[in-house]
Structure 1
Amino acid sequence: MLKFGSISYLNLLPFQVYMKRRTPSTQFAQMLRWQRAVPSVINRRFRRHEIDAAFISSIASAKAPCTDLGIVADGAVRSVLLIPGSRQDDRESASSNALAQVLGLEGRVLIGDKALVHYLEGGEGIDLAEVWKERTGLPFVFARLCYTRNGKKIRRLARDFARRERHRIPGYLLKRAAAKRDISPRELQWYLEHIDYRLGWKEKKSLQRFLKAARRLRMEN
C-alpha cells in the first residue's frame, strides 16, 4: 500500500482533487492511503520512512529524491505571516521558521489556514514570501513533492499535474473546504490564485539560495 502524506492546508486542495479524479477504480487507488498532517509532522514521518511520498518542507528536502512539483509563491501568499515582536516559531512549520531567520526578521511566525484566516479578518502581519520576492526577485518554494519509493510512479503523477494549466475544483468541494475554515468559497478561490506548483529554473535557483542561506545560519549558530 502506497502511503501518501498530504499537508492538511488549503494550498494543496487542487492536488488532492486531482488525485481523487485520477485514481478512482484503479489498483493504484486501492493501494493509495492518505495521511494528512501539518508540515512538521509530515517531515518527521517522511524522514522515518513511515510514508512513501509527500509534499515535504523545502528546508527538509535537500537530500531527498524529489520531483519538479512543489508549493510556490511568486510574491505575497497571504498564508505565511510574521507578527512583529519577540521570536516565536510556528510548531507546524519548518521552512517558514527558517525563512524568517534567513530574512533577519523577528516575530511570531504564523502559517497555513490559520494565517490566511488571520489575514482575511484584517489581522496585521508581514508576508514572508513577499519580502523574499522583494529582496531576491525570485519566487519562494515552501515545499516539494518527494518520495522514498515508487519514484517512477510519483514522477509521472507530478509531470501530469504540472502539465495542467487549470485545476478546477468542484463547487461542492470548494464550499466544504471553505466552510471548515469559516471563509467564503470566493476567498478560497482568490487565495489559490497566489499558489503555483511547478518548479522551473527560477524556483530551483531560489530554492538553492534559500537552502544555502539556511545552512550558513545553522553553522553560525
Structure 2
Amino acid sequence: MIPETARIGSVPYLNAVPLTCGLEEGCRFLPPSTLAVELRAGRLEAALLSVTEALFAPGYPIVDGVAIASDGPVASVFLAHQDPLDERLTEVHLDPASCTSVNLLRVLLSARGLSPRFSPLADYDRERMPRNVLLIGDPAIRFSLGPHPHRLWDLGAAWKEWTGLPFVYAVWAVGESAATPALADRLRQARVLGLESMPHWVEHRPEFTREFRQSYLGGHIRYGLGDAEKAGIERFRQALDTHLQPRRPTVAPRYF
C-alpha cells in the first residue's frame, strides 16, 4: 500500500497547512527549490511543487483538483520596490526559494519590456533589505506587516490584471513510478480534511494575527484546481515559452 508509506514533501508556509492535514507525521517540510531537488532525485514520491518545476521538461504527473492558487492578490508573493516599475528598475534581488515566483516575476517584467539584472537575496534582514526585492511565503508576510519604505507589487494581482486568470503557485507533483490513483486520492482527501478544519487553522495557528489568517487562508489563497486554474497554468506555460530567457523547454501538464 504505497499511499500509507509514501515519501511526501511540502513547504513550511502557512498557505500549505490545509493541504497536509493528516499527512504531517511522515511529511518533510522543505523550501520549494529543495523539494524540486528531492523529487528529481527520487528521495520523495510526491511534493507540493512549484508549478514551474512541473512544467519544465520532462515534467511530472500532477494530482488533479488540488493546488495553491490565487484569483487576484495573493499577499505572500510580491516585489517590494523603491524604484518605479519602468526603465529605472535596473536591479532586483530574488529569494531563490521558489522557482515559480522568480519566473512569474521575470514574465511580468518582460511583458512590460523590462529586463533588470537579477541578484540573489542574501537574507531577510529588514535593516539590510535591498531597494527592489522579490519576497515569498511567510517571510514576505512578516515583511509586509512591519514598517518598511517599499511599495508592494503583488504578483497574483498583476497576473490577474494581465491575463484575467487565476495563478497557480504549487501543485502536488508525483514521481512517475508513484503516480497511482490511491496516492492521488490520499492527497485529495488531505485537502478535504484541511478545508473542513479551516476554522481551526484560523483560530489556533500561531502565525500572524487571527484577522490576517482569516483574510489569507479564507480569501487570498484558493485550494482547488479546476478549469480556470488549469487555463491559468496553460497561459503561464505559454508565457514561459515567450518571455523566459534563456528559454527552457516546457511540457503540457498531465493531470491524474
- TM bucket, shorter chain: 0.7 to 0.9
Q: Does 1:75 align with 2:75?
A: no
Equivalent residues in 2 for 1:51-200, closer than 5 Å:
51-62=44-55, 63-68=59-64, 69-84=66-81, 85=83, 86-104=91-109, 107-121=132-146, 123=148, 124-148=151-175, 149-161=178-190, 166-169=195-198, 171=200, 174-178=203-207, 183-193=208-218, 194-200=220-226
In the TM superposition, what is the alpha-carbon distance from 1:190 to its structure 2 partner?
2.0
* TM-score under structure 2 length normalisation: 0.72
Q: Does 1:40 align with 2:44?
A: no
Unaligned ranges ≥5, structure 2: 84-90, 117-131, 249-256
**Which whole-Å CA distance do the structure 2 matches of 1:16 and 1:220 have between them?**
33
Instruction: Write the deviation string for residues 149-197 of structure 1: whole angstroms up to 9, x where unpaired.
Output: 152222112443556794324748953432xxxx223322221121111
In the TM superposition, what is the alpha-carbon distance from 1:76 to its structure 2 partner?
0.3
**Which whole-Å CA distance do the structure 2 matches of 1:172 and 1:206 have between them?**
28
**Which whole-Å CA distance do the structure 2 matches of 1:93 and 1:172 have between them?**
24
**Residue identity in the other structure for 1:137:** G
Instruction: Write the deviation string for residues 24-50 of structure 1: whole angstroms up to 9, x where unpaired.
Output: xxxxxxxx6211111111111111111
More deviation, 155-164/191-200: 155-164
Contact 1:58–1:95 (CA under 8 A) maintained in structure 2: yes
**Which whole-Å CA distance do the structure 2 matches of 1:5 and 1:190 have between them?**
26
Q: What's the secondary structure of 1:133's corresponding residue?
A: helix
Q: What's the secondary structure of 1:96's corresponding residue?
A: helix
More deviation, 74-83/148-157: 148-157
Q: Identity percentage over the alignment? A: 31
Aligned to 1:27: none
**Which whole-Å CA distance do the structure 2 matches of 1:137 and 1:89 have between them?**
26
**Residue identity in the other structure for 2:28:** Q
Aligned to 2:129: none
Q: Give the CA RMSD over aligned residues.
A: 2.5
C-alpha spacing 1:111/1:165, structure 2 compared with 1 (3 Å): closer
Contact 1:18–1:167 (CA under 8 A) maintained in structure 2: no
Contact 1:57–1:144 (CA under 8 A) maintained in structure 2: yes
In the TM superposition, what is the alpha-carbon distance from 1:214 to its structure 2 partner?
1.3
**Residue identity in the other structure for 1:136:** T
Contact 2:20–2:190 (CA under 8 A) maintained in structure 1: no
**Which whole-Å CA distance do the structure 2 matches of 1:80 and 1:64 have between them?**
24
Q: What's the secondary structure of 1:125's corresponding residue?
A: strand
Aligned to 1:14: 18
